[in-house]
Structure 1
Amino acid sequence: MGIIKLLDENTINKIAAGEVIEKPASIVKELVENSIDAGASEISVEVKGGGISYIRIVDNGKGINKEDMGIAFMRHATSKLSSEQELNKLVTLGFRGEALASIAAVSKVEMISKTHDSISGYRIYIEGGKIIEEGEYGCPEGTVVTIRDVFFNTPARLKFLKSESKESMYITDIMQNLAMSHSNISFKYISNGKLVFATRGDGDLKGVILAVYGKQIVKNLIDLNCSRDFITVKGYLGNSNISRGSRNYQSTFINGRYIKNKTITAAVEAAYKSMLTINKFPFFVLHIYVNPEFVDVNVHPAKAEVKFQDEQLIFKSIYHCVKDALISASHVPEIEDDRKEFIRNIQKVNYSQQKLDIKTDIETDKKYDGMIANENLTNSYELPRKDIPLNRNDDIYYEKDKTQYEPEGDRSISVGNYKIPNNFENEVTTKRVPKFGPLAVVGQIHFTYIIAEGPDDMYIIDQHAAHERIYYEKYLRDYKSFGMQKQNLIVPIVLEFSVSEKQAIFDNIEQFKRLGYEIEDFGGNSVALRCVPIIYGNPDPKVLFYEILEQINLNDKNVLSAIDKILYTMACKSAVKANDKLSYKEMVELIEQLRFCDNPYNCPHGRPTIIKMSYIELEKKFKRIQ
């Protein structure tokens, strides 16, 4: 007897569902696109438990006849395609006839629908691909689809879903793009009983962007309306004030369909070249209209990627449209923050890459001579030299508005223009042992390196890297033990975020609390900071909070990695910088605190903090000995 068998229809549907239905967000996308194709002007989406337990889509479209209801849940059944030739000029979002069958195969589905000329509606209930109930049903014109218990009959698939909050964020991203793709449709999105956003459906794309991203984004937008070659490009570009550390704020639509395309992304970023710093990416929402015959959307199971007949011409057209709009805007950026991250090479567009690369001029391969790394060090700082007064007893206020802050009292000693709490010194002497012996300070060169000597060696200490290590270990201990030290704000700082950013903040609220923040929902897209961490060196609290949120978003799969990078950032902003002139006493204090660090030899980024040259090596350099 042969061993090859034909699979039954139910098994085939479950396998097919794995391609089409990756997660609850995929279900939302497919069903909302069906509503759009049905001519709906109002679409409501409600989810619970990240869409795993409950999804409900309500539209006022043309509905489905009762004769078609059962057929609609069969594989490759569609009203949108009737011949192979139509694949070359698709004008609908759906066309394969796979979505409803795939959804029904792995969930419990109820569909209620009524057409304009029907006396009553019709209801069908399906579990795991099998029709359980169907019959006449009273309802208004349109369609209601309710999905419950996604992947209830495929536990292996269920096991690989993310947390409910993360699945909810995926749905939020999908809904944001669906709303921006069709500004002429009124969308309402509710998650766990709370309205996330709603749009008016009046065709105003900027109004949708306002609902999704907030006022801060809208006031920094540049209009784009361009026709070139065989395409038309409309939408909005962000100026440099709203550039981001990832490509998560870039939305591209082809003929109303949200897609990802490396050619388009590279063209836009090439047009921004020299306008943004490294590791910064432009914000944009682009609607591109092209003859359907020139684009193939049938190259990806989720129809998220497309291919063009002439990729080079697309690149050229998009590049010039964006470049001309940026030049016409003649935008002079406002100084809003002091972050110094830079955009990646536009030729290396990679949607899966989410981590920020930290590049230095330092070789990180360590070869230790005794206790201290013996390495060559090159310095990459180019800051203007400045003398820092020795009287550094300022209270721990942020410089922008000192009246806003209520310090808990000055409990610090100074190094440079930066403070370290006195309890750090107690911690050092009572709980830690030095990793190397005492050093005598000789002086400072280029206001960047401290020269010191030991019994038999000369030492060179990078003051910024060393101070960064000191602060990193202090902040790490605080975080692990009782949380970061914090200060109350007399006047709260109110910040505005996109819908998905605000959701990420409250999904990670415990992490923010341990980092020293007390956060309150301020309505709409806004949150209020009632408490902020005490971070020495006076960093802008708004900029720091945005950077922390960005790290959490970029490292959502590894919260510990995100926290570590956040502490790196805090330590870097707190530490003395290159070209900061230090007094003799301050240099002594810095070296003494470095001696008691767990790893005094490298900064958190891996650069050496200290190198040495032995007395014998020095004698050899001057040919005193052979």
Structure 2
Amino acid sequence: MARIIVLDKYTADQIAAGEVVERPSSVVKELVENSIDAGARRIAIDIEDGGLSMITVSDDGCGIEGDDLELAFQRHATSKITSTGDLACIYTLGFRGEALPSIAAVSKLTVTTRTHDAMTGAQAQIEGGALVAMVPAGAPPGTTVTVKELFYNTPARRKTMKSPATEGSLCGELVSRLALARPDIRYEMRVKGRDVFYSAGSGRLADAATAVYGAAMAREMVPLNFTEEGITITGMVGKPSISRSTRNHITLVINGRYVRCTPVTAAVEAAYQTLLPQGRKPVVILSLSIPPELLDVNVHPAKLEVRLLEEEKMAVLVKRALLEALRTKALIPSAASATHRKYQSGLVVMPQFDTPVRQERFSELVQSRSSAQTIPESNNSPSITSTTPQPYGQLTESRLAGAEEPAGYDNQVVPFPELQPLAQLLPLYILAAGEDGLYIIDQHAAHERVLYEDFLAGQSSTQSQCLLGPVTLELDYREAALLTERILWFTEAGFIIEHFGGNTFLLRGVPSRFPAGQEKTIFFDLLDYFREKGNDSSRTEFFHVLAASLACKNAVKSGEKLTLAAMEALLRSLSGKVNPFTCPHGRPAVIKITYRDLATRFKR
């Protein structure tokens, strides 16, 4: 066993640098955050060869005093905190005093700076952590840091870097995140002198989102503004039309700091649980303002991860804020890609199909309607809404006054539209007329949503129905343990389960309206949910999973024919739901084709 020694400063600095400086984007992050802490209103970033050859970050911040410049490159030298007490109340992005010495230890660095009240500035040159020169220099107010030949003295680290294009894209992604975190700062990024990113610094998050994602995507995002219990949550929430396959488009900012926080990200995904198909992730820009004493930012050398002291409370508030923002907007996708204006109503009623229909699935909905809403079961054109139908030849093309609105998802705060069913387009769709166009409803997805929310609404009084004969459940050890651990949740949901011995159980009863023959399938789906989620499972999510399974199995299927009465009953029931626009699995239930799009296609 070798003797214990104290490492020399050069070796210790290189080891410490590996914790903070992982790749060129780490350098960009640390330097830009220093500029933000310096009060900069404009930050320019220039890189070459993905940042491996050169990174330059210039700002118009407060600058560094000439006498403090050399001190700034000593380890744990900082102007942000003075004692351990300050760690409990951190408002700045940097505070550890590790960034500049760590970067200087693995590069050739030059910093030029001048304060606003000084006549001249100062310049320092450092190579491999050693000061080479310190001279006066003429410079505008602010600070410019140039990092050259990153990892030149750590060849093993340099070999692990990706291609310059990949490293450059990571730098660009990071600058984009920082622009979303601080939309009041103007960011400029250039690669080999070519402009690749610009954010105006107007202070409006919508402008920053447009700079990062483009105008089309920014239009598909709705503002978020939520305050409760001293917590303020703001940002922009993407509609389901712009979902992605990864979490890369979920940007989380806490107290002005771009971070990663698993509990908050999980809450964001939970809010979209029934709005997006499985495997799709939302586009969200979320900014939380919380008391600093409820946040620990000193858990990661690069300060990318934070720990919340009240994780569950924060997750609940985030989910509630997102749901409120999404529910105030109409989420009906449009089939048009051009802008449109609303047309005066001109509805046409098609006769019923003269084919056998299946209406028993909607018997309760139909019977619950008042007599004034009853639809005649004849081939004559029935009057379903208060709007008087007009023959097609009398359909007016005059437009309502008002500015044009972007297509895609309607961004108005409006209720579910009043729809008049016209006909059924087999095997799956209901055609309905609305005030602003033709609506196409997926009958299975719509019925799924109705059954799903009805089940959740009645879960407090869930009833069981006994099976004619018990269903034997032969489980493995893991499944038996999961069932035993969560048996109370199954009982609350309406399952009647009896232990038969060993890992065998008898299923004697199921929740009411349980689809016949699906007992084992749904039961094992629920066990798979517990196996996948582990300790992250919750009673609320369990009921959501069960409700979605029951709704899917019971909903009207593709190819089932409906009468106009059944179609109207389904649409009326759908309109009263919390989120009538998607099925529980996130697929769209309703789309529309505006009158403007129809007129365009018919060259009118």
Structure-2-length-normalised TM-score: 0.55
Q: Distance in 1 between the 2:181 and 2:192 partners?
A: 24
Q: What amino acid maps onto 2:80 in structure 1?
A: K
Q: Distance in 2 between the 1:159 and 1:204 partners?
A: 41
Contact in 2 for aligned 1:241/1:334 (Cα 8 Å): no
CA positional deviation for 1:117? 2.0
Q: Which residue of 2 aligns with 1:213?
A: 213
Q: Which residue of 2 aligns with 1:121?
A: 121
Q: Distance in 2 between the 1:336 and 1:215 partners?
A: 17
Q: Distance in 2 between the 1:336 and 1:153 partners?
A: 57
Q: What amino acid maps onto 2:37 in structure 1?
A: D
Residue by residue, what CA displacement relative to the aligned partner does 1:218-262 show, whole Å, maximum 9, x if unpaired? 110111000012310011000011011111111010011001111
CA positional deviation for 1:314? 0.4
Q: Distance in 2 between the 1:157 and 1:324 partners?
A: 47
Contact in 2 for aligned 1:229/1:317 (Cα 8 Å): no
Partner-residue secondary structure (3-state), 1:92? coil
Q: Does 1:140 align with 2:140?
A: yes
Contact in 2 for aligned 1:106/1:151 (Cα 8 Å): yes
CA positional deviation for 1:384? 7.0
Q: Distance in 1 between the 2:24 and 2:335 partners?
A: 41
Residue by residue, what CA displacement relative to the aligned partner does 1:276-324 show, whole Å, maximum 9, x if unpaired? 1111111000111000110111111211111111111001111111111
Q: Residues 287 and 137 (structure 1 numbering): CA distance in 2 closer, same or farther, change over 3 Å?
A: same
Q: Residues 142 and 209 (structure 1 numbering): CA distance in 2 closer, same or farther, change over 3 Å?
A: same
Q: Distance in 2 between the 1:121 and 1:167 partners?
A: 32
Q: Which residue of 1 aligns with 2:157?
A: 157
Q: Which residue of 1 aligns with 2:21?
A: 21
Q: Which residue of 2 aligns with 1:204?
A: 204
Residue by residue, what CA displacement relative to the aligned partner does 1:481-534 show, whole Å, maximum 9, x if unpaired? xxxxxxxxxxxxxxxxxxxxxxxxxxxxxxxxxxxxxxxxxxxxxxxxxxxxxx
Residue correspondence of structure 1 range 86-485 to structure 2 within 5 A: 86-335=86-335
Q: What amino acid maps onto 1:324 in structure 2?
A: E
Q: What amino acid maps onto 2:61 in structure 1?
A: G
CA positional deviation for 1:268? 1.4
Contact in 2 for aligned 1:264/1:315 (Cα 8 Å): yes
Q: Distance in 2 between the 1:117 and 1:218 partners?
A: 41
Q: Which residue of 1 aligns with 2:71?
A: 71
Aligned CA RMSD, in angstroms, stands at: 1.9
Q: What amino acid maps onto 1:99 in structure 2?
A: A
Contact in 2 for aligned 1:106/1:153 (Cα 8 Å): yes
Q: What amino acid maps onto 1:250 in structure 2?
A: I
Residue by residue, what CA displacement relative to the aligned partner does 1:111-156 show, whole Å, maximum 9, x if unpaired? 0000122220000000101111111101111001000000000001
Q: What amino acid maps onto 1:117 in structure 2?
A: D
Partner-residue secondary structure (3-state), 2:247? coil
Q: Which residue of 2 aligns with 1:566?
A: none
Partner-residue secondary structure (3-state), 1:218? helix
Q: Which residue of 2 aligns with 1:56?
A: 56
Q: Distance in 2 between the 1:107 and 1:29 partners?
A: 16
Contact in 2 for aligned 1:239/1:333 (Cα 8 Å): no
Structure 2 segments unaligned to the other structure (5+ residues): 338-424, 429-557, 560-604
Q: Does 1:8 align with 2:8?
A: yes
Partner-residue secondary structure (3-state), 1:329? coil
Q: Distance in 1 between the 2:2 and 2:11 partners?
A: 20
Q: Which residue of 1 aligns with 2:43?
A: 43
Q: Distance in 2 between the 1:282 and 1:385 partners?
A: 30
Residue by residue, what CA displacement relative to the aligned partner does 1:416-440 show, whole Å, maximum 9, x if unpaired? xxxxxxxxxxxxxxxxxxxxxxxxx
Partner-residue secondary structure (3-state), 2:69? helix
Q: Residues 46 and 336 (structure 1 numbering): CA distance in 2 closer, same or farther, change over 3 Å?
A: farther
Q: Distance in 2 between the 1:333 and 1:259 partners?
A: 32
Partner-residue secondary structure (3-state), 2:25? helix
Q: Which residue of 1 aligns with 2:399?
A: none
Partner-residue secondary structure (3-state), 2:78? coil
Contact in 2 for aligned 1:111/1:143 (Cα 8 Å): yes
Q: Residues 135 and 312 (structure 1 numbering): CA distance in 2 closer, same or farther, change over 3 Å?
A: same
Q: Distance in 2 between the 1:336 and 1:29 partners?
A: 41
Residue by residue, what CA displacement relative to the aligned partner does 1:461-490 show, whole Å, maximum 9, x if unpaired? xxxxxxxxxxxxxxxxxxxxxxxxxxxxxx
Partner-residue secondary structure (3-state), 2:328? helix
Deviates more, 1:185-194 or 1:122-131: 185-194
Q: Distance in 2 between the 1:334 and 1:80 partners?
A: 51
Q: Distance in 2 between the 1:102 and 1:307 partners?
A: 24
Structure 1 segments unaligned to the other structure (5+ residues): 338-382, 387-577, 580-626
CA positional deviation for 1:77? 0.4
CA positional deviation for 1:331? 1.7
Partner-residue secondary structure (3-state), 2:70? helix
Q: Distance in 2 between the 1:335 and 1:98 partners?
A: 53
Q: Distance in 2 between the 1:12 and 1:32 partners?
A: 25
CA positional deviation for 1:3? 2.2
Q: Residues 111 and 280 (structure 1 numbering): CA distance in 2 closer, same or farther, change over 3 Å?
A: same
Residue by residue, what CA displacement relative to the aligned partner does 1:372-397 show, whole Å, maximum 9, x if unpaired? xxxxxxxxxxx9779xxxxxxxxxxx
Identity among equivalent pairs (%):
42
Q: Distance in 1 between the 2:426 and 2:171 partners?
A: 47
Q: Residues 2 and 249 (structure 1 numbering): CA distance in 2 closer, same or farther, change over 3 Å?
A: closer
Partner-residue secondary structure (3-state), 2:136? strand
Q: What amino acid maps onto 2:191 in structure 1?
A: S
Structure-1-length-normalised TM-score: 0.53
CA positional deviation for 1:181? 0.8
Contact in 2 for aligned 1:241/1:336 (Cα 8 Å): no
CA positional deviation for 1:4? 1.7
Q: Distance in 1 between the 2:68 and 2:2 partners?
A: 39
Q: Distance in 2 between the 1:336 and 1:326 partners?
A: 22
Q: What amino acid maps onto 1:107 in structure 2?
A: S
Q: Which residue of 2 aligns with 1:466?
A: none
Deviates more, 1:262-271 or 1:311-320: 262-271
Q: Distance in 1 between the 2:178 and 2:223 partners?
A: 20
Q: What amino acid maps onto 1:140 in structure 2?
A: P
Q: What amino acid maps onto 1:323 in structure 2?
A: L
CA positional deviation for 1:330? 2.7
Q: Distance in 1 between the 2:180 and 2:319 partners?
A: 22
Q: Distance in 2 between the 1:164 and 1:293 partners?
A: 40
